[in-house]
Amino acid sequence: MNKILFFMRRNYKLILLILLLAGVFFGFKRYQQQVAEDKEASILQRVNLVIDYAHYHPSEMDDKFSEAVYNKFLEDVDPSKRYLLQSDIDSLSKYKDQIDDELQVLNLDFYKNAYEIITKRQKEALTYIDEALDKPFDFTLKDTLNTDYKKRLYAKNKAELKDRWRKYLKLNTLSRVYEKLEAQKKKKDSADFKPKSLAEIEKEAREASAKSIKNFKDLLSEMEESDYFSIFMNAVVMQNDPHTNYFSPQGKERFDTSMAGSFDGIGARLQKEGDYVKIMEIIPGGPAWKQEKLKVGDLIQKVAQGDDEPVDIMGMRLDKVVKLIKGHRKTVVKLTVKRVDGTIKTIAITRGKVELEETFAKSLIIKHQGKNFGYIYLPKFYINFNDKNQRSAATDIKKELEKLKKSGVKGIMIDLRNNGGGSLSTVIDIAGFFIDKGPVVQVKDKHDDIEVLKDKDRSVVYDGSVVVLINELSASASEILAAALQDYNRAVIIGSKSYGKGTVQNLVDLSQVNVPGKDFGDLGALKWTTKKFYRINGGSTQIKGVQPDIELPDTYKYLDIREEDEPTALKWDQIQKADYKLHQIPHKVEIIQQEQARINSTPLFKNINKKAKWLADNRKDYKIYLNLDDYTKDLKKSENISKEFDSLTKYVSDLDVSSLTADLVGKKNDTIFKAKRSKWIKAIKKDPYIGEAVKVLEKMSK
In this prediction, residues 600-615 reach a mean pLDDT of 92
Same domain for 447 and 543, yes or no, is: yes
CATH assignment of the domain containing 589: 3.90.226.10
pLDDT of residue 494: 98
- Residues 326 and 415 reside in one and the same domain: no
Asked if 426 and 547 sit in the same domain, the reply is yes
Over residues 480-485, the mean pLDDT reads 98
Q: What is the pLDDT of residue 114?
A: 97
Q: What is the pLDDT of residue 63?
A: 97
The predicted pLDDT at position 258 comes to 46
Q: What SS3 state is found at 60? A: coil
- What pLDDT digit, counting tens, does each position of 55-68 carry? 999 999 999 999 99
Binned at pLDDT 50, 70 and 90, residue 195 comes out as: confident
Percent of residues, the chain, with pLDDT higher than 90: 64
Q: How many domains does the chain have?
A: 2
- For this structure, is 642 an active site residue? no
CB neighbours of residue 422 within 10 Å: 25
One domain for residues 375 and 444: yes
Mean pLDDT of 611-626: 89
Tally: H helices and E strands in the chain: 22, 21
Q: How many Cβ atoms sit within 10 Å of the Cβ of residue 202? A: 21
Q: What is the CB neighbour count within 10 angstroms for residue 480?
A: 31
Contact of 238 with 68, CB cutoff 8 Å: no
More confident residue, 160 or 559: 160
Task: Please tell me the predicted confidence (pLDDT) of residue 11.
Answer: 41
pLDDT at residue 115 is higher than 60: yes
Taking 80 as the threshold, does the pLDDT of residue 34 lie above it? no
Select the more confidently predicted residue: 251 or 145. Answer: 145
Which one of the listed residues 487, 509, 554, 687 is annotated catalytic?
Answer: 487
Q: Which domain holds residue 292?
A: 263-350
Mean pLDDT of 284-292: 82
Residue 531: is its pLDDT beyond 90?
yes
- Across the range 623-639, mean pLDDT stands at 94
Q: Are residues 391 and 277 in the same domain?
A: no
Please check whether residue 653 lies inside any domain of the structure. yes
Helix, strand, coil percentages in the chain from 3-state DSSP, rounded to 5:
45, 15, 40
Rounded Cα distance between 166 and 15, Å, is 51
Report the alpha-carbon distance of residue 651 to residue 698 in Å, rounded: 21
- The question of whether 487 is a catalytic residue gets the answer yes
- Looking at the domain assignment, is residue 276 inside a domain? yes
Question: According to the model, what pLDDT value does residue 9 have?
Answer: 36
pLDDT confidence of residue 308: 85
Whether 292 is in a domain gets the answer yes
Does 222 have pLDDT greater than 70?
yes
DSSP 166-197: HHHHHHHHHHHHHHHHHHHHHTTTSTT--PPP
363 and 469 housed in the same domain: yes
CB atoms within 10 A of CB 112: 15
Eight-class DSSP state of 435: S
Domain contains 239: no
- pLDDT class of 374 with cuts at 50, 70, 90: very high
Q: Kindly report the CATH number assigned to the domain that includes residue 289.
A: 2.30.42.10
- Model confidence at 18, pLDDT cuts 50, 70, 90, reads very low
Put residue 528 in one of left, alpha, beta given phi > 0 → left and psi -120 to 50 → alpha.
Answer: beta
Is residue 476 annotated as part of the catalytic site, yes or no? yes
Please choose, from the candidates 85, 89, 104, the residue with its C-alpha nearest in 3D space to the C-alpha of residue 155. 85
Q: Quote the mean pLDDT of the chain.
A: 88
The answer, yes or no, to whether residue 117 has pLDDT greater than 50, is yes
Residue 304 falls inside a structural domain: yes
The span from the CA of 287 to the CA of 351, in Å, is 6
Show Cβ contacts of residue 240 under 8 Å, excluding neighbours closer than 6 positions.
Answer: 51, 55, 57, 58, 59, 528, 529, 568
User: Which of 113-127, 148-162, 333-347, 371-385 bottoms out in mean pLDDT, i.e. has the lowest?
Assistant: 333-347
Non-local (6+) Cβ contacts of 250 within 8 A are 319
Q: Which of 299, 320, 350 lies at the terminal end of a domain, its last residue?
A: 350
Residue 609 lies in a domain: yes
Contact by Cβ (8 Å): 439, 579: yes
How confident is residue 289, by pLDDT bands cut at 50, 70 and 90? confident
Domain boundary among 350, 381, 400: 350
279 with 363, same domain: the answer is no
403: helix, strand or coil: helix
Which tens digit of pLDDT belongs to each residue from 225-273?
988 999 999 999 999 999 999 998 876 655 544 443 344 578 888 877 7
In a domain, 13, yes or no: no
Instruction: Tell me the pLDDT band of 7, cut-offs 50, 70 and 90.
Output: very low
Amino acid 478: pLDDT: 97
pLDDT (mean) for 80-90: 96
Note whether 471 and 330 are same-domain residues: no
Using the predicted structure, report yes or no on whether residue 282 has a pLDDT greater than 90: no
Q: Among 484, 426, 700, 683, which Cα is nearest to 585's?
A: 700
Is 438 contained in some domain? yes
**Whole-number pLDDT of residue 23:** 39
Lowest mean pLDDT among 360-364, 397-401, 552-556: 552-556
Q: Which residue has the higher pLDDT, 115 or 211?
A: 115
On whether both 458 and 322 belong to a single domain, the answer is: no
| pLDDT value for 245 | 95
**380 and 311 in a common domain:** no
pLDDT of residue 277: 85
| pLDDT one-digit tens code per residue, 346-366 | 999 998 877 667 789 999 999
pLDDT, tens digit (0-9, with 9 covering 90-100), for 410-456: 999 999 999 999 889 999 999 999 999 999 999 999 999 999 999 99
Quick one: 335 and 394 in the same domain? no
- Of 42, 465, 476, 540, catalytic: 476
User: Looking at residue 619, what is its pLDDT?
Assistant: 82
pTM of the shown model: 0.86
User: Among residues 334, 350, 366, which one ends one of the domains?
Assistant: 350
Active-site position among 252, 501, 611, 699: 501
Task: Give the model's confidence band at 15: pLDDT under 50 very low, under 70 low, under 90 confident, else very high.
Answer: very low
Between 329 and 273, the more confident residue is 329
In the predicted structure, residue 26 carries a pLDDT above the cut 70? no
> What does the alpha-carbon distance between residue 29 and residue 23 come to, in Å, rounded to a whole number?
7
Tell me the CA distances in angstroms from 280 to 247, 276, 470, one per residue in order: 19, 13, 17
Mark whether 390 and 339 lie in a shared domain: no
Mean pLDDT across 652-673: 91
Per-residue pLDDT at 13: 37
